[in-house]
Amino acid sequence: MAMLSSTGFASIPTWSSDGGCDISDRKLTTLKDRAKEKIQMAHSLSVGGGGYVCPLLIREVFIQVLIKLQVCFVQCFSEADRDIMTLANHWNCPVLSSDSDFCIFDLKTGFCPLNSFQWRNMNTIKGTQDCYIPAKCFSLDALCHYFSNMNKALLPLFAVLCGNDHINLPIMDRFLSKVRLPLGAASSKGRRHHRVLGLLNWLSHFADPTEALDNVLKYLPKKDQENVKELLCCSMEEYQQSQVKLQDFFRCGTYVCPDALNLGLPEWVLVALAKGQLAPFISDALVLRRTILHTQVENMQQPNAHRISLPIRQIIYGLLLNVSPQLENMSWNSLPPQTFSEVERVNKTIKTSIVDAAELPKNHCDLSKLTELSLARRLILLLETLKVKQTILDTVPASLKLPIAVTCYWLQHTEAKAKLHHLQALLLGMLMGPLHAMINSPDKKHLREDGAKMLYEELQRMKEQTQPGTRLDLDTAHIFCQWQCCLQMGMYLNQLLSTPLPEPDLTRLYSGSLVHGLCRQLLTSTSVESLLSMCPEAKQLYERLFNATRAFAPAALLLPKGKSNSKKKRQKKQGTNRSKNRVGTISDTRCWYEASNRFGPLMVENMEEHQASELE
């Protein structure tokens, strides 16, 4: 975003993103398949293979960056694709995305895949001070021209015949096996791009979707034709203009979403969702009474890291009950009263678990009036959930109160199995934000020449040393994954309660590379005391953070080094654990956003060259 801003691209900066799952829940199968894929990729990374798994809090970090850069953004109520297409056509501007579905939408000025941007190749327009970043722009008109000037209204039918996120009918394999597709194999065993090219060539012979659909149905049994036609037509509508006018949000701060209004949700909830102040997790729990718990690079032999934050989620679910009669009458909502379902990792697959919502006092059970509760009462509910007394946080800076409260919660749960160096590494990592503020504060210029800058640079050096390929301690990774799960749900509860505690700056709160590097250093050559000796201000802050958390730590965690084992025995044990639990983390060269791009082949510049290279 900083690069786009520097080129003037963001002179009218806007960003639109998906919200919760589609309320029709037609994508559930796709979402579950993706969850399984992520588990396999996380497992691959955990044992030294390749893959790409987004950090758990990437959405929250991204929103904070947008706010810092003053980029206006809206979070759509559910799937954003149609709303984004409608907005882009209203503004006559291209769409920037990693979703190849935008190859199918009829966009007036095209679609720029994010992975086509040459981010490090900023250029200046000759004779001006204007800058630009080279990128590719996909044009639907150019695609249709390539395929004998086919009617672009046929593209949605092409998408649903290929199978998209909303529909994947096994019976379509019958059609694809019987129809004679030019340029490629019709069999499902053939390469995917052959089918894509062949299907586009086949469709180009028809004048419109009605004629093409009739010809598709000829290849199916008569008893199935009506049902298939209805499903295909319904799925094709997903590529049409949306009734939602997102431009209203950017003009006056609100917009009308018919789907959301029909559910009878409180006005403050709709506003908070649109502004990104409530996460899609909340809308999924609210509307579908189902959530998906995303897998991290953790120890797959242990229970999933989200188990530790279950009590926090149960409080969230308790606050979301009894919202509106419309939600209670939803046809798919067949769960027992007071329960929610969670899609979670069990070993290396997924399982749907039924979870009871927490019982809350009556004055907390009306979501429409939750914002009317006093700040003190909302804070009490938050801190009681995290099992922390307010006095514990009195000496903690406002920006770190929530992370420290979450850390206290994390330490109290035996699932975490945290050790002293894990806690120390987390707290040292939390100093990065305050150190950055010290260094850049105009009132503390002298600190630029003393310990604050030295310590900041030393921590940065440790972070940079932990690069892809560095061996990963799986037990340590799992422990930090558990902490992140606690922080995520602590933040979601805090947001639902209208932030009785300030939201922390996530961009400098936690870095996996840094805490893993610190753990290695603390176990071998470095002590907290020696590290902080260069900056008294940071040492004082660290001691306040440590003292706030130590009361919640198990007694064994605070035992001095060497109390129960000799140095030799400790080193031997560490060596054994490392050989068992440390593995490589070779990074996959592909970008995380290239996964599941069904229509990626359409973005190839020269289809004939691509086809020839694949055939070779």
Structure tokens that stand for 105 in this block: 């939408």
Question: CA 456 → CA 428, 460, 504, 524, 537, distances in Å?
Answer: 10, 6, 19, 20, 12
3-state secondary structure of 16: strand
| Structure tokens given for 562 | 């060497």
What 8-state DSSP symbol labels residue 553? S
In the predicted structure, residue 566 carries a pLDDT above the cut 50? no
CB-based contact 425:504 (threshold 8 Å): no
The DSSP output letter for 450 is S
Contact 172, 161 (CB under 8 A): yes
* Residue 601 confidence (pLDDT): 63
Strand pairing category for 72-75 and 14-17: parallel
Rounded to whole angstroms, how far apart are CA atoms 82 and 542? 48
Per the rule left: phi > 0, alpha: psi between -120 and 50, beta: everything else, 544 is alpha
Are residues 71 and 77 in contact, defined by beta-carbon separation less than 8 angstroms? no
Q: Tell me the pLDDT band of 615, cut-offs 50, 70 and 90.
A: very low
Nearest-angstrom CA–CA distance, 597 and 576: 42
**pLDDT at position 612, please?**
37
Distance CA 14, CA 419 (A): 44
Per-residue pLDDT band for 175 (boundaries 50, 70, 90) equals: confident
Cα dist from 418 to 426, 448, 508, whole Å: 11, 35, 22
What pLDDT is attached to residue 309?
Answer: 97
Spatial separation of the C-alpha atoms in residues 495 and 426, rounded to whole Å: 23
Q: Which pLDDT band holds residue 161 (cuts at 50, 70, 90)? A: confident
181: which residues sit within 8 A by CB, 6+ positions away?
195, 198, 199, 201, 202
Greater confidence, 229 or 585? 229
Give residue 33's pLDDT: 87
Identify whether the C-beta of residue 601 lies closer than 8 Å to the C-beta of residue 610: yes
- On the question of pLDDT at 562 being above 60, the answer is no
Residue in 437, 427, 439, 449 with CA at minimum distance from that of residue 531: 427
What are phi and psi for residue 248, nearest 5 degrees? -65, -35
**Residue 603 and residue 102 in contact, taking contact as beta carbons nearer than 8 Å:** no
Which one-letter DSSP state was computed for residue 616?
-
Q: What is the mean pLDDT of residues 379-405?
A: 96
pLDDT bin (cut points 50, 70, 90) of residue 25 is low
The answer to whether residues 135 and 9 touch, using CB atoms and an 8 Å cutoff, is no
Where does 12-115 have alpha helices with state H? 28-46, 58-68, 81-91
Tens-place pLDDT, residues 576-590:
444 444 443 334 434
- Other C-beta atoms within 10 Å of 616: how many? 5
Provide the token pair at 87.
């907005």
Please give the Cα distance from 195 to 184 (Å, whole number).
Answer: 6
**Torsion sign over Cα 507, 510, 516, 520:** positive
pLDDT at 445: 56
Q: Comparing C-alpha atoms, which of 69, 106, 59 is closest to residue 84?
A: 106
Q: What would the pLDDT profile of 513-558 be if each residue is shown by its tens digit?
A: 999 999 999 998 889 999 999 999 999 999 999 999 998 888 777 7
pLDDT at site 607: 53
Distance in angstroms (rounded) separating the CA atoms of residues 183 and 610: 13
